[in-house]
Amino acid sequence: MIEVKNLVKRYGNHNAVDHLSFTVEDGQIFGFLGPNGAGKSTTMNIMTGYLAATEGDVVIEGHDILDEPEAAKQCIGYLPELPPLYPDMTVLEYLRFVAELKRLPKADRENQIGQAVALTHLEEMSNRLIRNLSKGYRQRVGLAQAILGFPKIIILDEPTVGLDPKQVVEIRDLIRHLAQDHTVLISSHILSEIRAVCDHVLIIRKGRFVACDAPEHLEEELSSNDRVELLVRGSRETVEKVLLSAEGVVNHTFIESTDDTVRLEVSTDGDRRDSLFYAFADARCPLLEIRPKMASLEDVFLDLTDEDDAVAAQAAALLGCGSAPEDAPAADAGQPGAPDEDSAPADAGDAASAAPEKEEENDESNL
């Protein structure tokens, strides 16, 4: 179990991590999601004891990382953003070094190294110099290093960066395999990645807590019931007539129409699916399909981490009830300007650069 309480990391006047709190339960695959520069790596570096926090505590399996660093670090396997490899060693030499560094019992070392090598499919490379390995293989050596000795908690910072699609699938399988008896924490700015493996997602934005829940719950909560898509048998005119008589309809737009069916989107004030159903039934106009517009995790993510504070606050407010998004959204929504006054003009300036960034995220998530 990992408990992170009120974590702050300050660089000068800038808070890289801003009062972040969360708990990772045993056996979870915990995803850490945020755009580039949101503070994911900083948080992970603090959790593993590489950096010290300005404020706040990290407790790993009951050991505070500052008070009992050795006991806490003994429970963690960490793959940083850049795999920490020594290019002048062979893969096996390197893993032997790490095994000794992690104080694995001598008799068990070769066996453990064999397992780590097998899980990361490095058998054929084990006698090669790390210098001569490709990026994908280096990433795997880094991964082998992190899982070596099978510590209770495995922290992986963007583990699939630079891998080809086949390797990505292999690594995901490996993560699922590890999760059977380990707690795995992975960070990514790639959604499909998190969605594919994680059973819990923490979204952070500008170092602040935004949301923390199962990915399906996040989608559910953000998908509003006040927009439904309808497929109706009938003509446009009849549909419009019915909509006029139905209660609570605010707006509607036609998407497409064929000879005898019409597809349209209807905005209502609140959940009006019942009244829509009866209205169309009374008009003897069959409803073929009625579908609430679901927000995908991608929409959730893009909204929650939008560069524009207002959009992000709105998205966070939708989540309001579910996971109690603590101080961050409250501060954003409640008193706009107060804590973020200084960052607002900067955001406006960044608006132009935000758009291409989003496109990039989309591309990657389609991998």
Query: In b/e form, how buried is each residue of 232-247, taking b as 16+ CB within 10 angstroms?
Result: bebeeebbeebbeebe
CB of 49 to other proteins, least distance (A): 6
Helices (H) and strands (E) in the chain, counts: 14, 14
Q: Which residues bind other proteins (CB under 8 A)?
A: 11, 45, 48-52, 54, 69-70, 73-74, 76, 78, 80, 82, 84-89, 97-98, 100-103, 145
Q: How far apart are CA 328 and CA 95, in angstroms?
A: 42
CB of 30 to other proteins, least distance (A): 18
Three-state DSSP at 347 gives helix
DSSP assigned state of 124? G
Angle, CA of 65, 66 and 72, to the nearest 5°: 25
Q: How far apart are CA 5 and CA 186, in angstroms?
A: 19
Q: How far apart are CA 43 and CA 57, in angstroms?
A: 11
Query: In b/e form, how buried is each residue of 9-34, taking b as 16+ CB within 10 angstroms?
Result: beeeeebbbbbbebebeeebbbbbbb
CB of 73 to other proteins, least distance (A): 5
Complex with other proteins: residue 11 or 254, whichever CB lies closer: 11
| Strand duo 183-188 + 29-33: pairing | parallel
CB of 198 to other proteins, least distance (A): 22
CB of 68 to other proteins, least distance (A): 11
Complex with other proteins: residue 95 or 197, whichever CB lies closer: 95
Complex with other proteins: residue 85 or 290, whichever CB lies closer: 85
Complex with other proteins: residue 81 or 327, whichever CB lies closer: 81
Complex with other proteins: residue 63 or 233, whichever CB lies closer: 63
Handedness of CA 110, 111, 114, 119 (dihedral sign): negative
DSSP assigned state of 129? B
Rg (CA), the chain: 25
Q: How far apart are CA 33 and CA 203, in angstroms?
A: 5
Which residues make Cβ contacts (< 8 Å) with residue 118, sequence separation at least 6? none
CB of 151 to other proteins, least distance (A): 10
CB of 52 to other proteins, least distance (A): 4
Can you tell me which residue has the tokens 């309808």?
230
CB of 96 to other proteins, least distance (A): 9
Is the separation of the CB atoms in 201 and 212 below 8 Å? yes
Complex with other proteins: residue 87 or 286, whichever CB lies closer: 87
CB of 97 to other proteins, least distance (A): 5
Which residues make Cβ contacts (< 8 Å) with residue 21, sequence separation at least 6? 4, 5, 6, 7, 56, 209, 326
